[in-house]
Structure 1
Amino acid sequence: MKRTGLLTAILLMASLFPVMAQTQGPKTKVIAHRGAWKNTGAPQNSIASLQEAIKLGCFGSEFDVHLSADSVLVLSHDHVIQGVDIEKATAAQLAAVKLSNGESLPTLEAFLKEGLKQSKTRLVLEIKASKVSKERSLALTTKAVQMVKALKGQALVDYISFDYDVCKRVKALDPSAKVAYLNGEKSPEQLAEDGLYGLDYHQSVLKKNENWIKEAQQKNLTVNTWTINQREMMDWMLERNVDFITTDEPEQLLNILKSGR
């Protein structure tokens, strides 16, 4: 009876192994930089590029948020879009800006409402530091966190910023928020001390400070890196088991992960 029971247990484990392998999946996750735009024709930082990232099955889709002159939150990578200075323009003026697909310049509210229709792809909100003042950067931060809370998006929205004071303000406003720092000069030890979720550094920073990858993970910090578009650098980061790779080529990276490299 004992031998029969042992054999049954072995057969059961063997039958479960493929399922376990499928659910575990690759460690490194794909973040679409400004959405999936490069190979789809969708404009960067658009609702369309978010939808494409969701269709691809990206773990996350990154986007950039600014504050208009009349305190409305809008999406754009640059401070000036189509000749319009976002921080000096009103929401009405910015609504007149049309992206290449005819989409209006998205407000954060419209973008979040679209993103929160699903629960698979995380929304990685970059708070862009103001060119005008630190106070405006912090005002943008407060409004962004408040909007995420108002739309009940805390479980799906992560935050990143090049401004360390912004990162700390997000944590003060929402202690449960996942916040990563972008600029690259802070050690994992300092990030951990300040309660951040992780580091999100340019590839050159991690190449120069390779030990930070393991050090961060030992301190339960996540490691993201940007913007990785070349196969050689993707492989380098994958070999070191970074948690996330931000890329303009999410299709390529997803294919690499699916093929097991």
Structure 2
Amino acid sequence: MVIGFFLIILMIVLFLFALKLNGSKSVYQENFNIQHSPLKIGHRGAAGHCPENTVASYKKALELGAEVLEVDIHLSKDDVLVVHHDPTLDRTTSGKGRLRDYTAAELKEFDAGSWYHSRFKNERIPLLSEVFERFRTEAGFLIEIKHPSLYPGIEAKLAEELRKYIGSASFNNPIMVHSFDADSMRRFHLLMPEVQVGVLIKRRINDEALKEIAKFASFLNPKQTILDSKLQLRIQKHGMKVYTWTVNNKKRMRMFEKMKVDGIISDFPDYFSD
């Protein structure tokens, strides 16, 4: 009788402790907290097959089995969220100079496909809203805020955009946000705690830094060259999921799949196991 009473008390204490650990993290679409591992994430769509961050690239990623589309965002001169990787236009478009010096309408005039191959000459820089509308019923999204220090208020702008979709009957796939800038992710988490956020890293990280990130982040995303089982365990001990980028080698892909990381980002979604 006494033992049973103490067991009940112990279970209550453990339950309350678990709530405390998870209270500051996202609870949006909890079914993805227990989904199979790893998520198949198409880097900039299927950047190994198509011009990155274009509608063609995202369509190809889905054809090749991607479950989540990785999307890079910036703000245009007129404060519209646009999908592009670099802060400048020169590498992947017919435009020149800084993206933030152009309005969204001006950016739409540039060719964003011919640099990759002439058959993509009609590709344009998409708006984030266009990507959502086009693919929201087919895939989840992993949104990277690029260079947030260049765009004061971009976190609030993204939260405003996401509120149009989250909770709608036609948007049941996961939405996650990450950045190399941990402060940006902390700001976004305060604005929209129901959305899972993560931090990208490309260098070793100590436990004190992990502890601080775990206060607001649901996942950490180390570069694949620094991720091993020891780092994976350290991240998991702080209650975060483990993603990795950008895995374009089939042998390493199999290794991370065996490690059961939570998500793998690749330019080649066709490299994932069935």
TM-fit CA distance, 1:245: 0.8
TM-fit CA distance, 1:186: 6.3
Letter in 2 for 1:28: P
Closer, same or farther in 2 for the Cα pair 1:224/1:51, shift >3 Å? same
- Aligned-partner Cα distance in 2 for 1:200–1:162: 9
8 Å contact 1:224–1:242 — kept in the other structure? yes
Give the unaligned 5+ runs of structure 2. 1-33, 114-119
Structure 1 residue 205 corresponds to structure 2 residue 226: yes
Q: Which has the higher contact order (CA 8 A, sep 6+)?
A: 2
* Percent identity (aligned): 27
Please give the residue correspondences for 1:106-185 in structure 2 after superposition, counting only pairs within 5 Å.
106-116=126-136, 118-119=137-138, 121-130=139-148, 134=149, 136-152=150-166, 156-184=174-202, 185=205
1:3 maps to: none
Letter in 2 for 1:36: A
- Aligned-partner Cα distance in 2 for 1:26–1:122: 14
TM-fit CA distance, 1:25: 8.8
8 Å contact 2:247–2:264 — kept in the other structure? yes
TM-score normalised to structure 2 length: 0.73
Closer, same or farther in 2 for the Cα pair 1:61/1:186, shift >3 Å? farther
TM-score normalised to structure 1 length: 0.77
Per-residue deviation, residues 162-213 of structure 1 (Å, max 9, x unmatched): 1111111111111111111003446433222x22110011012324xx4220
TM-fit CA distance, 1:52: 2.1
TM-fit CA distance, 1:252: 1.4
Per-residue deviation, residues 210-247 of structure 1 (Å, max 9, x unmatched): 42201222333110111111123223322322111111
- Aligned-partner Cα distance in 2 for 1:26–1:195: 23
1:190 maps to: 212
8 Å contact 2:141–2:175 — kept in the other structure? yes
Which residue of 95, 101, 104 maps to 1:88?
101
Please give the residue correspondences for 1:231-242 in structure 2 after superposition, counting only pairs within 5 Å.
231-242=250-261
Please give the residue correspondences for 1:218-237 in structure 2 after superposition, counting only pairs within 5 Å.
218-237=237-256
Structure 1 residue 63 corresponds to structure 2 residue 71: yes
8 Å contact 2:200–2:220 — kept in the other structure? yes
1:217 maps to: 236
Letter in 2 for 1:199: L
Q: CA RMSD in A?
A: 2.2
1:11 maps to: none
1:74 maps to: 82
Give the unaligned 5+ runs of structure 1. 1-23
Give the SS at the match of 1:144.
helix
Letter in 2 for 1:66: H
